[in-house]
Amino acid sequence: MFFPFSWILGTSEWTPFESSPIDCFFQGLVGACGISVLCNIMRVHLFIQTCSKQRSSWTGRLLRERWRTVFQFWCLTALLSLVGSRVSSLIVLEFSLRAVSAWATAGLDAPGRGPQLLLIQCQFSLGCALTCILVFLQQGALHSSLSLLLAAGLSWALAGVCQQLWSHVERLYPLHSTERYCGKCITLLTSGHTILASLQRVVVLAFAIATVASTATVYDHFLSQKDALKFWTPLTLCYAMLVVYVQEEQHRQTGAEALLHSVVLRLGALLVLLLTVGHWSDVLHVLITFLGEAVCLLNSRDLQQAMLKEEEEDTSPSKPELDSSSSHITRGRTATTSSDGS
């Protein structure tokens, strides 16, 4: 009941960090770098698709809103540092279940939209997956802080490379792809169609490893108690049915409203679940997760708009073709009528 005072007193039961604050910061930094890499590679892919099909220009945001990108990055770092491994594990398992459900019902979705939509939705879950992997691998390590520092440094370097690639592509790809004197742009021009498939494989591998780590964490913290399975089995089944329902609802809705609706339903159900079987710290971490998902949705508005515009423009060219064909038929009939009359 009085857990805020426990934080001030520094008791071990109610601390905002499960381990050292420095270790939690490094874990959150790795997760935020992973989200940054995902978003920048997605932007590169969608930008190349836009240029290759000669559609309307990309609504660029990098140069105009750099400060906002930096602010959102450090917000994600702080939020991922605060979310504990228990809640992170549940989020990873929930997204894995959602991805399997989306794959099972892929026939109901529009072609090409499903993988991109899942990649946009998995941002905060991917950050939680990376933190779960680090927590699982660093259990019992003697020099965990040094290892996490090395992981954070490598993640920072990779995120910087992807950020520079997106900056280069946004400013210079339309020119370099036609002039063909830039190595980066020529490589993207010849093999850019494989970016999405490669990104999907990397994300699937990350979630596969994180699922193993999350399963071990959930078993240690939730299922190792006596008669825990009797209580968790009906709750898990109900939550799985909710995930399937949310997945079906997303097929009928489009835009950011559908993503926000699914986030509220999923995390609301997770909040109710942890109010039943979790600790008060878990409830707080779920509320932090709400903020993290909101930051990710705000950061990926350009991706959502580009994906929806690509989907609309893929279906729109059929109408002019029909109009032109009908006009040719009308002209033919008119010419035939005029010849008969003459």
* pLDDT at residue 78 tops 90: yes
**Structural domain includes residue 325:** no
- Is the pLDDT assigned to residue 227 strictly greater than 70? no
Tokens of 286: 């779920």
Specify whether the CB–CB gap between 60 and 43 falls below 8 A.
Answer: no
Least confident residue range of 164-168, 191-195, 252-256, 286-290: 252-256
User: Is 208 a domain residue?
Assistant: yes
Average pLDDT over residues 91-107: 79
The reported pTM is 0.81
Question: Quick one: average pLDDT of 172-200?
Answer: 83
Share the mean pLDDT of the chain.
76
Residues whose CB is less than 8 angstroms from the CB of residue 36 and which lie 6 or more positions away in sequence, other chains included: 73, 159, 162, 163
pLDDT of residue 104: 73
pLDDT, tens digit, 9 for 90 and up, residues 286-342: 899 999 998 988 888 878 777 777 666 665 554 444 444 444 444 444 444 444 444
Mean pLDDT of 115-127: 88
* pLDDT at 158 exceeding the cut of 50: yes
CA–chain centroid gap for 156, Å, is: 19
Confidence of residue 154 (pLDDT cuts 50, 70, 90): very high
Count of C-beta atoms within a 10 Å radius of residue 182: 16
- Looking at 23-32, 40-49, 205-214, 237-246, which range is the least confident one? 237-246
pLDDT of amino acid 116: 81
Reported as a single tens digit per residue, the pLDDT across 278-292 is 678 888 898 999 999
Asked whether residue 228 is assigned to any structural domain, the reply reads yes
- Give the residue with greater pLDDT, 170 vs 202: 202
In a domain, 230, yes or no: yes
Alpha carbon distance 287, 124 (integer Å): 13
More confident position, 44 or 300: 44
What is the percent of the chain with per-residue pLDDT over 70, rounded to a whole number?
A: 70
Question: Does 283 fall in a domain?
Answer: yes
Q: By percentage, how much of the chain surpasses pLDDT 90?
A: 25
186 in a structural domain: yes
The CA distance from 224 to 282, in Å, is 17
**Residue 49: domain span:** 17-136+146-311
Residues 84-106 have a mean pLDDT of 83
Q: Tell me the Ramachandran region of residue 59: left when phi exceeds 0, alpha when psi lies from -120 to 50, beta otherwise.
A: beta
Q: Which residues contact 303 (CB under 8 A, 6 or more apart)?
A: 39, 42, 43, 46, 120
Query: Is residue 317 in a domain?
Result: no
Per-residue pLDDT tens over the stretch 241-299? 776 676 666 666 555 666 777 777 778 878 877 777 767 888 889 899 999 998 988 88
The pLDDT assigned to 322 comes to 40
For residue 177, pLDDT over 50 is answered with yes
Q: At what angle do helices 123-137 and 195-218 cross, to 10 degrees?
A: 50
Average pLDDT for 133-156: 88
Residue 45 has pLDDT above 60, yes or no: yes
Q: Is the model more confident about 50 or about 27?
A: 27
**Phi, psi dihedrals of residue 54, rounded to the nearest 5°:** 55, 50
Q: What integer pLDDT is reported at residue 305 of this predicted model?
A: 78
Structure tokens given for 32: 């935020």
Task: Compute the distance between CA of residue 296 and CA of residue 300 in angstroms, rounded to an integer.
Answer: 6
**Total structural domains within the chain:** 1
pLDDT at 342: 41
> Which residue would you say has higher pLDDT here, 68 or 130?
130
Assess if residue 218 is contained within a domain: yes
Q: Which amino acid is at 265?
A: L
